A = this chain, B = another copy of it.
Amino acid sequence: MTKGADTRQRILDYAFRLAARDGLGGVSLGSLADDIGLSKSGLFAHFRSKEELQLEMLRTAAAQFIENVMAPAFRKPRGLPRLRALFENWLDWQRNGCIFVTASVELDDQPGRARDYVAEQQQALMDSLTRSAEIAIDEGHFRKDLDAQQFAFEMEAIYLVFHHAHRLLRDPKAARRARAAFQRLIDFAAAPA
């Protein structure tokens, strides 16, 4: 890694730590430069604005999500096995908080490139879940008349309530309850035996 790439990575790592506590809005270029002992101009050489840094954080998180959640699931057989893997990988990903859940709520009323990017990514995720449910219909795992978009909507619901119960309420049963909800959704979607 070149020195420039190394510094860039150091800035991003630190920004992620700040955002985990204070949200994307809590990432200020000024205090970031101070905290990691960089001049403001040194920081600006890497990120010219707060928005640019936020976007790069979101892009980094999106790439990690694909690597850790989506890609391993897509190596599973099509249909139900893939959906189950997706769900489990997603719970694991979520355990330490998800910058997209935070950003979704934080940015929903803040027009701009960061909001656009988050909405785009979250829409892409919904589309990908819908597509996965359609494949499960094609494979004969789910019934032909299932509303695949509704399935995706309800799968996202379980994900969000898991974040809520696990991160805010610290409910030790959060994962168990999320799995029970997902199983109920699968049972509802299942093709008649």
Question: What is the CB-to-nearest-CB distance from A116 to chain B, in angstroms, rounded to a whole number?
Answer: 11
> Is A31 an interface residue when CB atoms closer than 8 A count as contact?
no
Bound CA–CA A93/B122 (angstroms): 23
Indicate if the CB atoms of A102 and B97 lie closer than 8 Å. no
Give the contacting residue for A126; candidates B26, B102, B157, B169; CB below 8 A. Answer: B169
Interface centre among A101, A123, A147, A164 (most CB of B within 10 A): A164
Question: What is the CB-to-nearest-CB distance from A154 to chain B, in angstroms, rounded to a whole number?
Answer: 5
Give the contacting residue for A157; candidates B123, B150, B161; CB below 8 A. Answer: B161
Nearest B residue to A104 by beta-carbon distance?
Answer: B168
Given contacts A105-B106, A169-B126, contact A156 B150 (CB under 8 A): no
Bound CA–CA A167/B115 (angstroms): 11
Interface residue stretch chosen among A70-78, A80-88, A134-142, A177-185:
A177-185
Q: Tell me which residues across on chain B come within 8 A of A14, comparing CB atoms.
A: none
Given contacts A105-B105, A105-B106, A122-B169, contact A181 B164 (CB under 8 A): no
Interface size of A by CB at 8 A reads 43
Bound CA–CA A116/B126 (angstroms): 32
Indicate if the CB atoms of A109 and B20 lie closer than 8 Å. yes
Indicate if the CB atoms of B105 and A101 lie closer than 8 Å. yes
> Is A43 an interface residue when CB atoms closer than 8 A count as contact?
no
> Is A2 an interface residue when CB atoms closer than 8 A count as contact?
no
Nearest 5 A/B pairs, CB to CB: A157-B161, A157-B157, A160-B160, A108-B167, A105-B105
Offer 16 A-B interface pairs, CB within 8 angstroms, sorted by A: A23-B106, A25-B26, A102-B105, A102-B106, A104-B168, A105-B163, A106-B106, A107-B168, A119-B169, A122-B168, A149-B177, A153-B161, A157-B157, A157-B161, A157-B181, A188-B188
